[in-house]
Structure 1
Amino acid sequence: MLVVFGIIALALILFVTEWLPIDVTAILIMVLLMVLGADGVVNFTEISTAEGTSGFSNSATITVLAMLILSSGISQTGVVQIIGRKMSAFAGEDLDKQLLATIGVSGPISGFINNTPVVAILVPVVSDIAHKGKTSPSKLLIPLSYASMFGGMLTLIGTSTNILASDVSARLGAEYPELHAFSMFEFTKLGVIVLLVGSLYLMTVGHRLLPERVPVDEDYVTEYDIEEYLTEVIVDEESPIVGSTVADAIDRVAFDADILQVVRDGEEFIEPIGQKTIRAGDTLRLRADRPTVQQLVERETLTIDGGPETDAELEPDEIPDRTLVEVVVPRGSFLVGESLETSTFRQRYDATVLAFRSRGETVRSDMDERRIRVGDTLLVQAAPDSIDRLSQNDDFIVAHEPEEPDYRTEKIPHAAAIMAGVVGFVAVPWGAVGTTLAGLTGVGAFEAMSALSLPILVTALAGVVAMVATGVLKPTEIYDAVEWDVIFLLAGIIPLGIALEQTGGADLLGTLVAATGTYLPALGVLWVFYLATGLITGVISNNASVVLMLPVAVETADQIGANPFAFVLAVTFAASTAFLTPVGYQTNLFVYGPGGYKFTDFVRVGAPLQLLLSVVTVLGIDFFWGL
């Protein structure tokens, strides 16, 4: 038990500090459990090799994998973006309508498409709604993330957390008869209440608590405060860089500087300019701080000639499309864990990073060595065709919709029918249908339907096959659609939950928490579990908190004589509605940078919401399922 607690403590430290990527941390957990398990060096954790690797074959892991592919198929059709644009036209410049459009699209859709890709799809749509509606994106992006969490609680497939919780509940059902796997609409009635109450809060109170971190009338140059890092220099005839290419002109090892543009005879050249030869009299627009510019002037015989102060001066008049965009780094991107220097980002996309935001900090200098993390937002300058390539790559979320998006709109009916089938075949009560038909017709064959059960795992995998067969997805896109770090995370933490149960750790923790039942009624203990899960999810991941908290919650319910299924639901809802920090839930990371938020903004808006929904959810569980 102590060994398992030690592994949990190590996992928590690694999750919080991010010393290792979360998927690597999950693999480390798996290895430790097996090395210290039944087939390892010593039998401390009681985990066999088969149990240690069981996370890979677990139905929850495979179901989440399939749902990620299905969500990608929906996004390829552009249906979410099309709905978003229609809502943008409805919203106009009215903030209330903009909020209604944002919440009204992201909430319901997230009930049927995994909420993480929904937010990834809608970040550029909502950013454009804010830009066109003369509203700060700070007022809309946190509501977008929170609304997707509300919507994720509408159905079993709304979020990977629900699927994982369902699997854990089914496994624990072998010991506790009250527990079972969730049906498709098991908790939809409570999810609708959470969606309505949460939306009302965001529409009335929440947006008033959000500051305008990105002022409406500010451009990127002002927003990222990079004026002093942008300088124009003129190349003298005696300069040693005359005749050099732009790529070779500045030694990046010696100088933290980039040539953004070359201006020659009134014509402005933007990326790709790496192979353009520098001539005497050229004006070079640089990204560099003042000391670096001074060193270049002294060493390279350059003359300072002011600097661009707005986006317009960095975007040539001859190119109508934008050349400055924000790019969010999602999970699974090749940039995660890399630096700009080691990732060859510039070379791949002929793009220059002017600055980037990381966990609320704006980085403007010495960027090449900084390790890039999930949720970081890069301010990128590139030619329009390079920006189009970035927007079409799943490694990035470009916070601006492309002018001519490449969607498979002709496949919308196919994708919609497939998702309806995935949901419908799970939701249909085949047993009741078979019994009814057998009674009406007297045909005994219908009685066989009573034994028919199509789990979400089967329908989701069938949906993947149908997506490829109908051309909604190309075969090669299947693997790109999967967030492999999420899959490895699930595979690693599932055996940790098993070890917590087998060693008696869950029973011990449940006994300790059950002691609060001496002072609190069962409803109060349930509320404590909701709050505790919400706090834990804020510092680790939602999936990890479910695996760790569910066995303890069930043991606690058993100790105080309460309904264990009620405790399972409380933990599930709390883990899927993590509002307090930007790092506990991936959708919060997606909006962190584009909204210009600080860490405290999530606490300011999320803490009252977490308390409000804790009361609503706990009372709803008691009303619908009883304690």
Structure 2
Amino acid sequence: MTVDNILLFSLFIAVFALMIWGRFRYDLVAFAALIVAAVLGLVPTGEVFSGFGHPATVIVAIVLVISRGLVNSGAVNWISRVFVDSGRSLSRHIAFMAAIGAGLSAFMNNVAALALLMPVEISASAKAGRSPALSLMPLAFATILGGMVTLIGTPPNIIIAAYRGEALGEPFGMFSFAPVGLVCAIVGVAYVALIGWRLIPVGNSEKAPTANLRDIHGYVAELAIPAKSPIVGRLVGDLDDEAAEAGVVVLGLIRKGRRLPGGARREKILEDDILVVDGPVEAIDALVGSLKLEFPRRDSIKESGSSDLALLEVVVPRDSRLDGRSAGTVGLNRHTGVALLGVSRQGRRFRERVRQLQVRAGDVLLLIGPPDRLGEAANWLRALPLADRGLGVTQHGRAALAVSLFAAAVALASFGILYLPVALAAVVGLYVIFDIVPLRQVYDEVEWPVVILLGSMIPLGIALEQSGGTEVIAGGIVNLASGLPAWVILTVLMVVVMTLSDVLNNTATAVIGAPIAVDIAGRLGANPDPFLMAVAVASSCAFLTPIGHKNNTLILGPGGYAFGDYWRMGLPLELIIVAVGVPAILVFWPL
């Protein structure tokens, strides 16, 4: 290996380790690695920022905006209303929802598809009186599977297609992934609907009850104590009976911005103190009424002049504006006029002030503010409401227009009349002109952390390839399966990439895997397309952990899942994908 190889491998190992650790955001890790590579001369100066203009990066940014347009127009909500019936048996319900999720994911980003259907699923679970834990994981996995069917369904497909264009002169088309993707999706959806949901730990039914939507977990919340409250002058410890009757637990007292030591059990309550409690939102609301307490109202809420306050629950996805930060740090109240009332973290309690707590992906937040501001606040945070409402106002009557514009762009790109990024960009422009997506939402819907990740990782991947690093990895895989048939090496590649995708971002895995696939094919004198297709499938199939795919992270809090719950249903699914994916690739993309 050359010095450049050693430096690049060391840099990639450091990037992988930091991403797995999760202490720092993956986009910052990738960008820092790009800068380090540029300083060391591993990436030529003129190519350092070339990844930000790469077709894969552009398409990923545009697809989420188009997804927002389909949601705003009411097209997807109409599909959900028509097909979702909470009266079906659980197995049939999961089959229907999984099929809808997979179908939507084929034509819109799979993260956006889950973001749309998750509130619908939670509501359906509540009406049926069952835990959302039994159905959210199958839905998330189905949206991941459906994304593999088309070019725009998932970022790895976009990356693989663009790389094929650079390496072989012609990219994969819109439906090049469909034959293999459909086989994997159909078999995978059948598995999650018939068998997979039965492997989810039964305990989750108790961890995430849904008799009421707002009873997912107890919230740690703060309640203001005005002068009129009857508890002024009483000891904190004396509130146990009233709290128990309401269904909450008193955790402590905050005075002059400071949490008093312990539980402040023997502390006398004063006017303007803040009571810290833990319980379901309805129980907290009942306590506010019985003890004449108040929800804290920040300055922006007071200035709004509205006495009408509402509550909204949202789940924090990875790369939300709040992920890894506190409400006070991001200026939630200052920017949106909405305040953070409580945080639910899988039943855990904490001593930090609610506004000062570092929020994590998977947390469920309870927001309070004027009803007309809550949706905008969720949109600004890039968080997902856990109620049957969208982040924007549905524009009834625009569904046909939105779908027609999108379908026309897909058709023009499929027949080679228009370059796909140009066709999709034109759709975004028309959505803005027809006010299907307001201009302010265009920038909000672009997933900037993924853009930074791709823009940073693509030049690093190119540098690894040009330095001969991918030849080293490809040689290792070929040597590992030395003397065995090419299809065995294809299987080994698929397993290696799939394992990486379980612990890394799937876009990063695709960026690294694509050149390795072409190099292996060159060593074997085989067609590179089946190896590229294997990387595309494997990069998308991250079912073992909540960090392998953003859809897995989104359901962590609402489903009440633990880190180790995913592999029970996910490991058989990954084995099934390998078992059906390899033969499908060999049939449709012969070696």
Same fold by TM-score, threshold 0.5 exceeded?
yes
For each residue in 1:288-345, what CA deviation from the matched residue of structure 2 results, as whole angstroms up to 9, or x when unmatched?
xx933425x3363899999896644334699xx9966531123553212312332343
Q: How do 1:369-380 residues align onto structure 2 when only pairs under 5 Å count? A: 369-380=356-367
Question: How far apart, CA to CA, are the structure 2 residues paired with 1:291 and 1:572?
Answer: 53
User: Which position in structure 1 is the counterpart of 2:302?
Assistant: none
- 3-state SS of the aligned residue for 1:183? coil
User: Which position in structure 2 is the counterpart of 1:300?
Assistant: 270
- Read off the aligned partner of 1:193 and give its amino acid letter: V
Residue 365 of structure 1, aligned match among 346, 351, 354: 351
User: Which position in structure 2 is the counterpart of 1:184?
Assistant: 174
Question: How far apart, CA to CA, are the structure 2 residues paired with 1:597 and 1:148?
Answer: 18
For each residue in 1:488-547, what CA deviation from the matched residue of structure 2 results, as whole angstroms up to 9, or x when unmatched?
111000001111111110111111111123253211111111111111111110010011
Check conservation: 1:235, 1:301, Cα contact below 8 A: no
Residues 1:352 and 1:293: Cα distance change in structure 2 (over 3 Å):
farther
User: Which position in structure 2 is the counterpart of 1:17?
Assistant: 21
Question: How far apart, CA to CA, are the structure 1 residues paired with 2:63 and 2:453?
Answer: 16
- Read off the aligned partner of 1:166 and give its amino acid letter: A
List gaps (5 residues or longer) in structure 1.
Answer: 38-44, 175-179, 240-248, 257-289, 431-452
Question: How far apart, CA to CA, are the structure 2 residues paired with 1:514 and 1:59?
Answer: 31
TM-score by length of 2: 0.84
Q: How do 1:398-417 residues align onto structure 2 when only pairs under 5 Å count? A: 398-402=385-389, 406-417=393-404
User: Which position in structure 1 is the counterpart of 2:80?
Assistant: 84
Question: How far apart, CA to CA, are the structure 2 residues paired with 1:211 and 1:486?
Answer: 32
- 3-state SS of the aligned residue for 1:410? coil
Residue 569 of structure 1, aligned match among 533, 536, 539: 533
Residue 109 of structure 2, aligned match among 114, 117, 120: 114
For each residue in 1:128-150, what CA deviation from the matched residue of structure 2 results, as whole angstroms up to 9, or x when unmatched?
11111222100111111111111
- Read off the aligned partner of 2:56 and give its amino acid letter: A
- 3-state SS of the aligned residue for 1:326? strand
Question: How far apart, CA to CA, are the structure 1 residues paired with 2:166 and 2:205?
Answer: 47
For each residue in 1:575-609, what CA deviation from the matched residue of structure 2 results, as whole angstroms up to 9, or x when unmatched?
11211111111111111110111111111110000
Check conservation: 2:379, 2:391, Cα contact below 8 A: no
User: Which position in structure 1 is the counterpart of 2:423?
Assistant: 459
User: Which position in structure 2 is the counterpart of 1:481?
Assistant: 445
For each residue in 1:30-57, what CA deviation from the matched residue of structure 2 results, as whole angstroms up to 9, or x when unmatched?
21221111xxxxxxx2x21122211012
List gaps (5 residues or longer) in structure 2.
Answer: 236-252, 290-307
Q: How do 1:216-615 residues align onto structure 2 when only pairs under 5 Å count? A: 216=209, 223-225=216-218, 234-236=230-232, 250-251=254-255, 253-255=257-259, 291-294=262-265, 297-298=267-268, 300=270, 311-315=281-285, 325-345=312-332, 348-357=336-345, 362-366=348-352, 367-380=354-367, 387-391=374-378, 393=380, 395-402=382-389, 406-428=393-415, 453-615=417-579
Which protein is bigger by CA-based radius of gyration?
1
Question: How far apart, CA to CA, are the structure 2 residues paired with 1:383 and 1:122?
Answer: 25
Cα shift at 1:16: 1.4
Check conservation: 1:542, 1:576, Cα contact below 8 A: yes
Residues 1:302 and 1:463: Cα distance change in structure 2 (over 3 Å):
closer
Question: How far apart, CA to CA, are the structure 1 residues paired with 2:99 and 2:217?
Answer: 31
Residues 1:457 and 1:404: Cα distance change in structure 2 (over 3 Å):
closer
- Read off the aligned partner of 1:593 and give its amino acid letter: G
Identity of aligned residues (%): 29
Q: How do 1:64-79 residues align onto structure 2 when only pairs under 5 Å count? A: 64-79=60-75
Check conservation: 1:235, 1:303, Cα contact below 8 A: no
For each residue in 1:207-246, what CA deviation from the matched residue of structure 2 results, as whole angstroms up to 9, or x when unmatched?
101135143466588753569999998434699xxxxxxx
Q: How do 1:168-179 residues align onto structure 2 when only pairs under 5 Å count? A: 168-173=163-168
- Read off the aligned partner of 1:354 and give its amino acid letter: G
Question: How far apart, CA to CA, are the structure 2 residues paired with 1:186 and 1:306?
Answer: 56
- Read off the aligned partner of 1:73 and give its amino acid letter: G
Check conservation: 2:75, 2:399, Cα contact below 8 A: yes
Residues 1:519 and 1:252: Cα distance change in structure 2 (over 3 Å):
farther
Matched, 1:194 2:194: no
For each residue in 1:187-212, what CA deviation from the matched residue of structure 2 results, as whole angstroms up to 9, or x when unmatched?
21221111110111011110101135
Pick which of 141-150 and 16-25 moved more.
16-25
User: Which position in structure 2 is the counterpart of 1:28?
Assistant: 32
Question: How far apart, CA to CA, are the structure 1 residues paired with 2:524 and 2:408?
Answer: 41
- 3-state SS of the aligned residue for 1:300? coil
Question: How far apart, CA to CA, are the structure 1 residues paired with 2:274 and 2:440?
Answer: 50
Cα shift at 1:379: 4.3
- Read off the aligned partner of 2:351 and give its amino acid letter: S
For each residue in 1:106-165, what CA deviation from the matched residue of structure 2 results, as whole angstroms up to 9, or x when unmatched?
111111111111111211111111111222100111111111111111111111221111
Question: How far apart, CA to CA, are the structure 2 residues paired with 1:536 and 1:304?
Answer: 47
Check conservation: 1:490, 1:543, Cα contact below 8 A: yes
Question: How far apart, CA to CA, are the structure 1 residues paired with 2:519 and 2:398?
Answer: 48
Check conservation: 2:259, 2:351, Cα contact below 8 A: no
Residues 1:85 and 1:392: Cα distance change in structure 2 (over 3 Å):
farther
Check conservation: 1:91, 1:97, Cα contact below 8 A: no
Q: How many residues align?
A: 544
Matched, 1:126 2:121: yes
Residues 1:596 and 1:91: Cα distance change in structure 2 (over 3 Å):
same
Check conservation: 1:224, 1:355, Cα contact below 8 A: no
User: Which position in structure 1 is the counterpart of 2:54?
Assistant: 58
- 3-state SS of the aligned residue for 1:170? helix
Residues 1:182 and 1:93: Cα distance change in structure 2 (over 3 Å):
same
Residues 1:341 and 1:505: Cα distance change in structure 2 (over 3 Å):
same
- Read off the aligned partner of 1:415 and give its amino acid letter: A
